[in-house]
């Protein structure tokens, strides 16, 4: 899925003018001192799919390394209504660990907007705006998740709200599907932010990445849109800021920008969050971040262009999740995208085929989005930086 149809414009000096507002003092990072809960849904895929496959192929070293990947905490994706039933067992397990003295954060991705992924085809979802999708999203998706979270007040939840949602409304609004989804998506995201404004929740709405919202043409409109939905949600206390680089491959910080960044000033995520933070603060919104490093271990990647988002070649597992970061704006490095799950199918015959998944810089053959992709997992594992020692 993800990061589609980017038009990298020439840099605009206006956004970096010397009269830009100074960053205000940042409140204490509420995630500091905590570790992330590792959900068994991802670990079981690694242990039951990746490890046995390596063993069958005689790749014992990779099998041992893969077993280490299984212990890395990743976000659990609530990507359909039938996924909601998995939340309670995870919350109960996390609660048990918390009551035994662990300081844990349970990380979730909320990902089921009606007319989801309006800028591409690979990850279209189950709800349609034309078929009462907004009301169903509220009543049969957001409300049940919130009800479950309320039943575990001693468990802290970290939520990433709707990957791709606001980003598509900024850069792909020329597409009919996105244009028709504009009001429905803003209403739905605002409802999610308002409903999840709970004492045991910290929320980050998806904020694109350095190659998408980091484009100065997009940053201003993006910050305004975040401000709009935040105010529409009633300025929720639990809103912390943006999640960046979700399911993408960008570096946290590089000394030399890759050629495919086309001279962008914001060629990594650290530069990007420091560039957009003043614009968010100008809108009155909190400006804190978490950044997905799950597939960012290799720089540069094998992408032809920055907007090539599907199963990119020459990628590897990156920095491990941690709340000890090197930037006061960054609350945590995280693994949001489960490494080894496909971004989209390379089969031109598939209903959800997206041309990005059929390009020569996308690993093929690839299964449908979300399905296990053993060859991609192996690529990530072999290229891991830092490596997974046996």
Query: Which one is catalytic: 117, 206, 292, 343?
Result: 117
Residue ranges and CATH numbers for the domains of the chain are 32-382 (3.20.20.40)
Q: What is the mean pLDDT of the chain?
A: 92
Is residue 19 annotated as part of the catalytic site, yes or no?
no
Q: Is the pLDDT of residue 17 over 80?
A: no
Active site residue 117: yes
DSSP string across 148-168:
HHHT-TTSEEEEEE-TTHHHH
Q: Are 162 and 206 in contact (CB under 8 A)?
A: yes
Give the three-class secondary structure for 319. Answer: coil
**pLDDT one-digit tens code per residue, 72-109:** 999 999 999 999 999 999 999 999 999 999 999 999 99
Tokens at residue 89, please?
């067992």
Q: How does pLDDT run across 172-224, given as a tens digit for each residue?
A: 999 999 999 999 999 999 999 999 999 999 999 999 999 999 999 999 999 99
Q: Exactly one of 19, 131, 164, 268 is catalytic; which is it? A: 164
The answer, yes or no, to whether residue 7 has pLDDT greater than 50, is: no
Q: What is the pLDDT of residue 331?
A: 98
Q: Is the confidence at residue 310, as pLDDT, over 90?
A: yes
Ramachandran area for residue 125 (φ above 0: left; ψ -120 to 50: alpha; else beta): beta
Give tens-digit pLDDT for 25-61: 446 899 999 999 998 999 999 999 999 999 999 999 9
Q: What angle do CA 242, 295, 203 make, to 5 degrees?
A: 20
């Amino acid at each position: 899925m993800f990061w589609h149809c980017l038009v990298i414009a020439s840099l605009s000096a206006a956004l970096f003018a010397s009269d830009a507002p100074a960053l205000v003092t940042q409140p204490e990072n509420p995630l500091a001192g905590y570790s992330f809960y590792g959900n068994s849904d991802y670990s079981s895929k690694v242990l039951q799919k990746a490890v046995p496959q390596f063993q069958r192929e005689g790749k014992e070293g990779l099998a041992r390394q893969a077993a280490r990947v299984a212990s890395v905490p990743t976000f659990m994706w609530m990507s359909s209504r039938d996924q909601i039933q998995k939340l309670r067992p995870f919350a109960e397990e996390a609660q048990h660990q918390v009551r035994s003295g662990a300081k844990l954060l349970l990380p979730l991705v909320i990902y089921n907007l009606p007319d989801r992924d309006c800028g591409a085809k690979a990850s279209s979802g189950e709800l349609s705006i034309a078929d009462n999708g907004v009301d169903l999203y509220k009543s049969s998706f957001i409300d049940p998740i919130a009800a479950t979270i309320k039943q575990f007040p001693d468990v802290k939840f970290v939520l990433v709200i709707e990957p791709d949602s606001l980003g598509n409304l900024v850069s792909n609004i020329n597409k009919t599907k996105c244009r028709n989804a504009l009001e429905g998506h803003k209403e739905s995201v605002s409802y999610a932010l308002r409903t999840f404004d709970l004492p045991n929740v910290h929320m980050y709405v998806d904020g694109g990445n350095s190659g998408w919202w980091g484009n100065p043409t997009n940053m201003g409109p993006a910050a305004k849109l975040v401000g709009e939905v935040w105010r529409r949600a009633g300025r929720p206390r639990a809103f912390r800021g943006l999640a960046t680089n979700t399911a993408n491959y960008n570096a946290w910080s590089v000394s030399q920008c890759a050629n495919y960044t086309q001279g962008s000033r914001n060629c990594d995520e650290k530069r990007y969050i420091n560039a957009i933070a003043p614009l968010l603060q100008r809108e009155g919104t909190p400006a804190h971040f978490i950044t997905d490093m799950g597939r960012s271990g290799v720089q540069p990647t094998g992408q032809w262009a920055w907007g090539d988002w599907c199963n990119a070649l020459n990628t590897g597992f990156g920095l491990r999740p941690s709340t000890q970061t090197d930037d006061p704006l960054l609350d945590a490095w995280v693994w949001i995208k489960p490494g080894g799950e496909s971004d989209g199918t390379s089969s031109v015959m598939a209903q959800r085929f997206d041309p990005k998944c059929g390009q020569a810089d996308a690993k093929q053959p690839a299964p449908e989005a979300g399905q296990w992709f053993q060859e991609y997992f192996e690529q990530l594992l072999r290229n891991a930086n830092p490596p997974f020692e046996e």
